[in-house]
Amino acid sequence: MTKSGSTRHTPEQTGRVLFTPEAEGRCVPVGTTVLEAARGAGMDLSSPCGGDGLCGKCRVIIKKGEVLSVPTSLLTREEIRRGYVLACQTKVEGDLEVEIPPESRTEAAQFLIDVDAQRFRALNPAAEAVSFPLAPLARKLWLNLPPPNLDDSLSDQSRVYREIQRRHPASVMQMGLKVVQKLPRLLRSANWSVTATLGSRGGTLEIVQLEPGNTEGRNYGIAIDVGTSTVVTHLLNLVTTERVDAEAVYNSQRKWGAEVTRRMIYADSGGLDELQKAVVEDINSMIAALVERNNLSLNDITAVVCSGNTTMAHLLLGISPGSIRKSPYVSATSSPPPVRAVETGIKVNPRGLLYVVPGIGGWVGGDITAGILAVGLHRSERVRMLIDIGTNGEIAIGNKEWMIACSASAGPAFEGSGVRHGMKAMRGAIERVTISADGSVQYRTVGSARPRGICGSGLIDLVAELYTAGFIDRSGRLLPGTSERIRESDGLLEFVVVPGTRSEHGKDICVSQTDLTNVLSAKAAIYSGAQALASSVGLDFKSIDSVLIAGGFGSYIDREKAITLGLIPDLPLDRIRFVGNTSILGSQMALLSVEAWQELNKIAQSVTYYDLISHTQYYDEFLAAKFIPHTELSRFESVAARLTEPQAQRFSAERVGHEALAATRKERA
């Protein structure tokens, strides 16, 4: 039974919470939220807002027992009647039986892992990527050392140094104490034939380890994109440069919030260790799977390169990111030094090194630095723009003479949060939508499965198609009477995309008025950020040679519909290219070449960080971009050309109305 209000409990009172269908139980103090109990029991329960009661994704069904629940508008009257509550807003009052429905889970990520791994292998994301000489950050060198004698009485350490210097000159060379301690026995038992693993640490060449015999052929590295939503790991053969295998998982930090700001707040409140442990466990699980699948050992992994936004890099290293979200928005570090991977808890060779790609400044991190390297923006003769679409959107513009970058956080709407039936691009997600002239809806789902919800690319298609079909106006407002699929539910209009008879969970899949508003806010953040960044250097979109769309999400967008929506600039389609996950590609390039790693550091130092808050017109740009495609249709000539006569008349009428409203507001101000 669900009740509202507050109740006092003695500290010793507990309740056993049984989660179904797994039949996993856990005793918790009375007053604990169901979400906290689920986390403690290791249950997979979505909570993109971090437990603040804002997203409505942690729906569960109370089957037995009493709870104390805060009323919410995120549940329909029918859902409340059936026993649905928000786990984050519901406290345990005693013994409970709680059902976690399929739509509230994220365990289907395994399908995304498989699909992404295939796509990553097939994708050539940057045809213009620059090449670098093969010189891995960790390389192996087989040494046949002459045994000491009375005429050659160098110490064991100096003997190793001499041979390495002869074949691989270095201004500074070092060897750790643990390596030196093993040196006398190792050299003699191996008959002076050993393999040295050499790691690059700035201007220093470190002898990371020594092994008996010739193991030059077994040298592997890991490249990782630590994304806010997804963590992607690639296994590379550092001898052949082959990308051997790939894994991807959803970032386990998502349980504390889909947006980085919520994780930062949690870190500041004492949760830093938990956040760091969560992402490290994600990485370790992927590395273990890759090693096992390819008949390797962890000792074969001698180097790891990670890239991610500023907050993700801080959390990975266990550094508080709190100062990034407070003026003047300064990070603890933008260029972390190479460290032993084991220092962070990452399980590879105990002596293996971890390299974190340097960030640019403020919110703009190493993922965009890696992206710039991958697409060769810093070597381009022409001005190009790189847009990394994701929860923490980042934009860079420039050429070989200059570069500037900013962060334009779109929020998690395109990642499935902030939209009632939104979800990530996993099995059953609607990824393509077409609305025909008669108003019927055709769609395609990931894996050709029965639909469960709508992912980012599907949302872009859907909103663009709703506008083209005349079912919403430029502000995203649903127009009653234009389609039988538009209905009212709990005081809000919604559009039925898929009836419950065709969905996996038996419930209608809809997009509500609130959902549409959130999608338009997300697209406006990206477009206005790009517009503000371009105007800050005196450019408009037409003077930009090409726009490169990066990110795993960006790989699957329909360009024409993205333009119709107003997400990306209206340029000829051949000037808009999807370049895939450039963060992981840039990390791979650095892993395979010391020169590429050095170039990453030069890029980070040469890009100017631009804070959108300092752009006086940014907020006005953002508001103007919250319309489809924009309040100024002249910016989207191709969209205007596709409008039918009725649509053009409607657009003109709407524009007059919007201009009148703007004039009224100006007079009041």
Contact between residue 91 and residue 3 where contact means Cβ atoms under 8 Å apart: no
For residues 596 and 378, give the distance between their C-alpha atoms in angstroms, rounded to a whole number: 12
How confident is the model over 216-222, as a mean pLDDT?
96
Contact between residue 505 and residue 488 where contact means Cβ atoms under 8 Å apart: no
pLDDT at 6: 53
- Strands (E) located in 238-383: 243-250, 301-308, 339-340, 353-356
List, in sequence order, every residue forming a beta bridge with 398; answer none if it has no partner.
384, 403
For residue 655, is pLDDT > 70? no
List, in order, residues 6 or more apart from 73 with CB less than 8 Å away: 490
Q: Which amino acid is at 260?
A: V
For residues 514 and 525, give the distance between their C-alpha atoms in angstroms, rounded to a whole number: 17
Quick one: CA torsion of 452, 422, 444, 552, rounded to 10 degrees?
A: -120
- Strands (E) located in 341-428: 353-356, 384-388, 394-398, 403-407
Nearest to 252 by CA among 289, 283, 223: 283
Nearest to 423 by CA among 582, 535, 258, 538: 258
For residue 577, is pLDDT > 50? yes
Q: Is 441 helix (H, G, I), strand (E, B) or coil?
A: strand
Q: What is the DSSP string of 491-517?
A: TEEEEEEE-TTTSSSSS-EEEEHHHHH
pLDDT at 11: 56
How confident is the model over 436-455, as a mean pLDDT?
89
List, in sequence order, every residue forming a beta bridge with 232; answer none if it has no partner.
225, 248
Digit-coded pLDDT (tens) for 578-600? 888 899 999 999 999 999 999 99
Of the given ranges (113-127, 535-549, 649-663), which has the lowest mean pLDDT? Answer: 113-127
Nearest to 311 by CA among 372, 258, 352: 258
366-375 and 594-606 are packed helices; what angle lies between their axes, rounded to 10 degrees?
A: 110
pLDDT at 4: 55
pLDDT at 644: 59
pLDDT at 112: 44
| % of the chain beyond a pLDDT of 90 | 61
pLDDT at 508: 94
Of the given ranges (207-221, 363-377, 437-451, 501-515), which has the lowest mean pLDDT? Answer: 437-451
Q: Please report the sign of the dihedral spanned by the C-alpha atoms of residue 657, residue 662, residue 667, residue 669.
A: positive
How confident is the model over 603-621, as a mean pLDDT?
89
For residue 122, is pLDDT > 70? no
Digit-coded pLDDT (tens) for 410-426? 777 787 777 889 887 77
For residue 665, is pLDDT > 60? no
List, in sequence order, every residue forming a beta bridge with 19; answer none if it has no partner.
24, 98
Contact between residue 196 and residue 165 where contact means Cβ atoms under 8 Å apart: no
For residues 213 and 582, give the distance between their C-alpha atoms in angstroms, rounded to a whole number: 38
Q: Please report the sign of the dihedral spanned by the C-alpha atoms of residue 484, residue 490, residue 493, residue 499.
A: negative
Q: Is the bond into 21 cis (omega within 30 degrees of 0)?
A: yes
List, in sequence order, every residue forming a beta bridge with 17; answer none if it has no partner.
26, 96
Share the mean pLDDT of the chain: 87
pLDDT at 120: 39
Q: Is 246 helix (H, G, I), strand (E, B) or coil?
A: strand
Q: 251-263 b/e with 16+ CB inside 10 Å = b? A: bbbbbbbbbbbbb
* Full strand arrangement of the beta sheet holding 453-454: 441-445, 429-435, 453-454
If phi > 0 it is left, if psi is from -120 to 50 it is alpha, else beta; for residue 490 that is left
Digit-coded pLDDT (tens) for 33-83? 998 888 788 777 877 776 777 778 888 999 888 888 888 878 888 888 888
> How many CB atoms are located within 10 Å of the residue 221 CB?
27
* Full strand arrangement of the beta sheet holding 576-580: 576-580, 546-550, 384-388, 394-398, 403-407, 608-609
> How many CB atoms are located within 10 Å of the residue 559 CB?
18
For residue 114, is pLDDT > 80? no
List, in order, residues 6 or more apart from 242 with CB less than 8 Å away: 236
Digit-coded pLDDT (tens) for 535-546? 999 999 999 999
The single residue listed with the structure tokens 């050429």 is 399
